[in-house]
Structure 1
Amino acid sequence: MDAERPVGVGPATPADTESVRRILSESWGGPYVAVHAELIDASAQRALLARVAGRPVGLLTYRAVSGTEWEIVTLDAVEAGRGVGRALLDGLRAEAAWEGVTRLWLVTTNENVRALRFYQRYGFDLVAVHRNAVEAARRLKPSIPTHDDGIAIRHELELELLL
Protein backbone atom coordinates (compact mmCIF):
# COMPACT_ATOMS: atom_id res chain seq x y z
CA MET A 1 0.00 0.00 0.00
CA ASP A 2 1.38 3.47 -0.98
CA ALA A 3 0.41 5.05 2.37
CA GLU A 4 3.02 2.88 4.06
CA ARG A 5 5.78 3.38 1.49
CA PRO A 6 8.51 5.90 2.27
CA VAL A 7 8.80 9.24 0.56
CA GLY A 8 12.03 9.46 -1.43
CA VAL A 9 13.51 12.80 -2.46
CA GLY A 10 16.03 13.54 -5.18
CA PRO A 11 16.98 16.19 -7.72
CA ALA A 12 14.60 16.62 -10.64
CA THR A 13 16.19 15.63 -13.94
CA PRO A 14 15.31 16.52 -17.54
CA ALA A 15 13.23 13.32 -17.60
CA ASP A 16 11.05 14.87 -14.86
CA THR A 17 10.16 17.99 -16.87
CA GLU A 18 6.55 16.92 -17.46
CA SER A 19 6.00 16.07 -13.77
CA VAL A 20 7.48 19.41 -12.70
CA ARG A 21 5.29 21.34 -15.16
CA ARG A 22 2.18 19.38 -14.13
CA ILE A 23 2.68 20.02 -10.41
CA LEU A 24 3.38 23.72 -10.99
CA SER A 25 0.35 24.03 -13.24
CA GLU A 26 -1.95 22.35 -10.71
CA SER A 27 -0.61 24.34 -7.76
CA TRP A 28 0.31 27.71 -9.28
CA GLY A 29 -1.69 27.88 -12.51
CA GLY A 30 1.51 27.55 -14.54
CA PRO A 31 5.26 27.77 -14.10
CA TYR A 32 5.38 31.44 -13.06
CA VAL A 33 5.33 32.67 -9.47
CA ALA A 34 5.04 36.37 -8.66
CA VAL A 35 6.85 37.31 -5.46
CA HIS A 36 8.78 40.33 -4.15
CA ALA A 37 7.89 42.31 -7.30
CA GLU A 38 9.47 39.67 -9.54
CA LEU A 39 8.03 37.07 -11.90
CA ILE A 40 9.98 33.84 -11.46
CA ASP A 41 9.81 30.84 -13.80
CA ALA A 42 9.77 28.10 -11.17
CA SER A 43 10.19 25.42 -13.85
CA ALA A 44 13.61 26.90 -14.73
CA GLN A 45 14.92 26.67 -11.14
CA ARG A 46 16.74 23.86 -9.39
CA ALA A 47 14.22 21.35 -8.07
CA LEU A 48 13.76 18.41 -5.75
CA LEU A 49 11.07 15.88 -6.52
CA ALA A 50 9.43 13.67 -3.89
CA ARG A 51 8.30 10.22 -4.98
CA VAL A 52 6.45 7.28 -3.51
CA ALA A 53 6.95 4.02 -5.39
CA GLY A 54 8.32 6.04 -8.32
CA ARG A 55 5.23 8.28 -8.50
CA PRO A 56 5.80 12.07 -8.06
CA VAL A 57 4.05 13.31 -4.90
CA GLY A 58 5.77 16.66 -4.29
CA LEU A 59 8.05 19.33 -5.65
CA LEU A 60 10.34 21.99 -4.19
CA THR A 61 11.96 24.58 -6.45
CA TYR A 62 14.74 26.88 -5.27
CA ARG A 63 17.46 29.20 -6.41
CA ALA A 64 20.78 30.48 -5.15
CA VAL A 65 20.59 34.11 -4.08
CA SER A 66 24.25 34.07 -3.08
CA GLY A 67 26.87 31.47 -2.26
CA THR A 68 25.45 31.11 1.24
CA GLU A 69 21.76 31.83 0.72
CA TRP A 70 19.02 29.95 -1.14
CA GLU A 71 15.44 31.03 -1.73
CA ILE A 72 12.70 28.42 -1.80
CA VAL A 73 10.52 29.45 -4.73
CA THR A 74 7.78 26.80 -4.47
CA LEU A 75 6.93 23.87 -2.23
CA ASP A 76 4.05 21.61 -3.18
CA ALA A 77 2.89 18.36 -1.62
CA VAL A 78 0.53 16.60 -4.01
CA GLU A 79 -0.48 14.28 -1.19
CA ALA A 80 -0.96 16.21 2.05
CA GLY A 81 -0.45 14.70 5.47
CA ARG A 82 2.13 12.04 4.64
CA GLY A 83 5.33 13.98 5.27
CA VAL A 84 6.05 15.05 1.70
CA GLY A 85 6.74 18.70 2.57
CA ARG A 86 9.02 17.74 5.47
CA ALA A 87 10.88 15.23 3.29
CA LEU A 88 11.46 17.90 0.64
CA LEU A 89 12.71 20.42 3.22
CA ASP A 90 14.94 17.75 4.77
CA GLY A 91 16.39 17.02 1.33
CA LEU A 92 17.02 20.70 0.63
CA ARG A 93 18.52 21.25 4.07
CA ALA A 94 20.97 18.38 3.56
CA GLU A 95 21.95 19.67 0.12
CA ALA A 96 22.33 23.21 1.45
CA ALA A 97 24.55 22.07 4.32
CA TRP A 98 26.69 20.09 1.87
CA GLU A 99 27.15 23.20 -0.30
CA GLY A 100 27.91 25.55 2.60
CA VAL A 101 24.60 27.42 2.49
CA THR A 102 23.81 29.06 5.83
CA ARG A 103 20.37 30.55 5.14
CA LEU A 104 17.23 29.20 3.51
CA TRP A 105 14.36 31.62 3.07
CA LEU A 106 10.98 31.87 1.42
CA VAL A 107 7.96 34.08 1.06
CA THR A 108 4.34 33.09 1.67
CA THR A 109 1.24 35.23 1.86
CA ASN A 110 -0.71 36.38 4.89
CA GLU A 111 -3.77 34.16 4.32
CA ASN A 112 -1.75 30.96 3.99
CA VAL A 113 -1.98 30.04 7.66
CA ARG A 114 -1.48 26.34 6.96
CA ALA A 115 1.89 27.03 5.30
CA LEU A 116 2.86 29.51 8.00
CA ARG A 117 2.18 26.89 10.67
CA PHE A 118 4.06 24.21 8.71
CA TYR A 119 7.16 26.35 8.18
CA GLN A 120 7.30 27.55 11.78
CA ARG A 121 6.92 24.00 13.08
CA TYR A 122 9.84 23.03 10.85
CA GLY A 123 11.99 25.77 12.40
CA PHE A 124 11.60 28.74 10.07
CA ASP A 125 11.33 32.15 11.73
CA LEU A 126 9.21 35.06 10.53
CA VAL A 127 11.66 37.86 9.75
CA ALA A 128 9.68 40.37 7.68
CA VAL A 129 6.20 41.41 6.68
CA HIS A 130 6.04 43.19 3.33
CA ARG A 131 2.78 45.08 3.60
CA ASN A 132 0.60 45.21 0.49
CA ALA A 133 3.32 43.51 -1.59
CA VAL A 134 0.77 41.24 -3.25
CA GLU A 135 -0.59 44.26 -5.14
CA ALA A 136 2.70 44.47 -7.05
CA ALA A 137 2.66 40.70 -7.56
CA ARG A 138 -0.85 40.91 -9.06
CA ARG A 139 0.38 43.42 -11.63
CA LEU A 140 2.85 40.75 -12.78
CA LYS A 141 0.42 37.84 -12.43
CA PRO A 142 -3.21 39.03 -12.50
CA SER A 143 -4.52 35.51 -11.77
CA ILE A 144 -3.47 35.77 -8.10
CA PRO A 145 -6.77 35.68 -6.20
CA THR A 146 -7.81 38.54 -3.93
CA HIS A 147 -9.15 36.28 -1.14
CA ASP A 148 -8.77 32.73 0.13
CA ASP A 149 -10.92 31.15 2.81
CA GLY A 150 -12.46 34.56 3.54
CA ILE A 151 -9.08 36.24 4.12
CA ALA A 152 -7.84 39.05 1.89
CA ILE A 153 -4.50 38.20 0.27
CA ARG A 154 -2.41 41.35 0.74
CA HIS A 155 0.97 40.84 2.38
CA GLU A 156 4.08 38.78 1.79
CA LEU A 157 5.59 37.12 4.85
CA GLU A 158 9.30 36.34 4.71
CA LEU A 159 10.57 33.38 6.74
CA GLU A 160 14.12 32.11 7.18
CA LEU A 161 15.89 29.05 8.46
CA LEU A 162 19.48 29.57 9.55
CA LEU A 163 21.65 26.48 9.13
Structure 2
Amino acid sequence: MKGEDGAINGFISYVLEDQACEIISLDSVFENKGIGTAFLNQVARTAKEKGCHRMKLVTTNDNLHAMGFYQKRGYPFY
Protein backbone atom coordinates (compact mmCIF):
# COMPACT_ATOMS: atom_id res chain seq x y z
CA MET A 1 0.00 0.00 0.00
CA LYS A 2 1.35 3.39 -0.95
CA GLY A 3 0.68 6.65 0.84
CA GLU A 4 -0.14 9.99 -0.70
CA ASP A 5 3.56 10.68 -1.22
CA GLY A 6 4.03 7.39 -3.10
CA ALA A 7 6.04 5.75 -0.32
CA ILE A 8 5.17 2.19 0.66
CA ASN A 9 3.31 2.19 4.00
CA GLY A 10 2.93 -1.52 4.52
CA PHE A 11 2.70 -5.01 3.14
CA ILE A 12 0.42 -8.03 3.44
CA SER A 13 0.98 -11.49 2.01
CA TYR A 14 -1.67 -14.17 1.78
CA VAL A 15 -2.54 -17.40 0.02
CA LEU A 16 -5.91 -18.39 -1.46
CA GLU A 17 -6.33 -22.17 -1.57
CA ASP A 18 -9.18 -24.68 -1.30
CA GLN A 19 -11.84 -22.07 -0.47
CA ALA A 20 -9.67 -20.68 2.33
CA CYS A 21 -7.50 -17.62 2.69
CA GLU A 22 -4.46 -17.68 4.93
CA ILE A 23 -2.76 -14.44 5.89
CA ILE A 24 0.97 -15.10 6.04
CA SER A 25 2.31 -11.73 7.13
CA LEU A 26 1.15 -8.20 7.77
CA ASP A 27 3.35 -5.20 8.42
CA SER A 28 2.74 -1.47 8.37
CA VAL A 29 5.22 1.35 8.72
CA PHE A 30 2.90 3.44 10.90
CA GLU A 31 0.65 2.17 13.68
CA ASN A 32 -2.85 3.40 14.49
CA LYS A 33 -3.39 4.88 11.02
CA GLY A 34 -5.77 2.18 9.73
CA ILE A 35 -3.22 0.65 7.36
CA GLY A 36 -3.36 -2.88 8.80
CA THR A 37 -7.15 -2.79 9.01
CA ALA A 38 -7.36 -1.62 5.39
CA PHE A 39 -5.14 -4.53 4.35
CA LEU A 40 -7.30 -7.04 6.23
CA ASN A 41 -10.50 -5.63 4.77
CA GLN A 42 -9.15 -5.72 1.21
CA VAL A 43 -7.91 -9.30 1.58
CA ALA A 44 -11.29 -10.33 3.02
CA ARG A 45 -13.06 -8.77 0.01
CA THR A 46 -10.69 -10.45 -2.42
CA ALA A 47 -11.08 -13.80 -0.68
CA LYS A 48 -14.86 -13.54 -0.80
CA GLU A 49 -14.77 -12.65 -4.50
CA LYS A 50 -12.62 -15.74 -5.13
CA GLY A 51 -15.08 -18.01 -3.30
CA CYS A 52 -13.19 -18.46 -0.04
CA HIS A 53 -15.32 -19.44 2.93
CA ARG A 54 -12.66 -19.29 5.64
CA MET A 55 -10.04 -16.78 6.72
CA LYS A 56 -7.15 -17.92 8.87
CA LEU A 57 -3.85 -16.62 10.16
CA VAL A 58 -1.01 -17.81 12.29
CA THR A 59 0.96 -15.88 14.88
CA THR A 60 2.97 -16.89 17.90
CA ASN A 61 1.50 -16.91 21.39
CA ASP A 62 4.12 -14.43 22.59
CA ASN A 63 3.23 -11.83 19.94
CA LEU A 64 0.62 -10.16 22.14
CA HIS A 65 0.56 -7.02 20.02
CA ALA A 66 -0.43 -8.96 16.90
CA MET A 67 -2.90 -11.11 18.82
CA GLY A 68 -4.61 -8.01 20.21
CA PHE A 69 -4.72 -6.42 16.76
CA TYR A 70 -6.40 -9.46 15.18
CA GLN A 71 -8.76 -10.11 18.09
CA LYS A 72 -9.96 -6.51 18.02
CA ARG A 73 -10.93 -7.12 14.40
CA GLY A 74 -12.86 -10.30 15.15
CA TYR A 75 -10.25 -13.00 14.48
CA PRO A 76 -10.54 -15.70 17.17
CA PHE A 77 -7.64 -17.76 18.48
CA TYR A 78 -7.77 -21.51 19.08
Are residues 1:118 and 2:69 paired? yes
| In 2: Cα distance, 1:98 partner to 1:117 partner | 27
- Aligned AA (1:100): G
Greater strand share, 1 or 2?
1
Sequence identity, in percent? 34
TM-score using structure 2 length = 0.91
Alignment length, in residue pairs? 77
TM-score using structure 1 length = 0.45
- Aligned AA (1:64): L
Partner of 1:57: 9
| In 1: Cα distance, 2:53 partner to 2:14 partner | 14
- For the pair shown, which has the larger CA radius of gyration, 1 or 2? 1
| In 1: Cα distance, 2:72 partner to 2:2 partner | 23
Offset at residue 64 of structure 1 (A)? 2.1
| In 2: Cα distance, 1:51 partner to 1:97 partner | 23
Partner of 1:36: none
- SS at 1:74 equivalent: strand
Partner of 1:108: 59
List alignment gaps of at least 5 residues for structure 2. none
RMSD: 1.0
| In 1: Cα distance, 2:17 partner to 2:62 partner | 26
| In 1: Cα distance, 2:39 partner to 2:62 partner | 23
- SS at 1:51 equivalent: coil
Q: Where in structure 1 do 4 or more consecutive aligned residues deviate above 3 Å?
A: none
Match of 1:71 among 22, 38, 41: 22
- SS at 1:125 equivalent: coil
Higher relative contact order (CA 8 A, sep 6+): 2
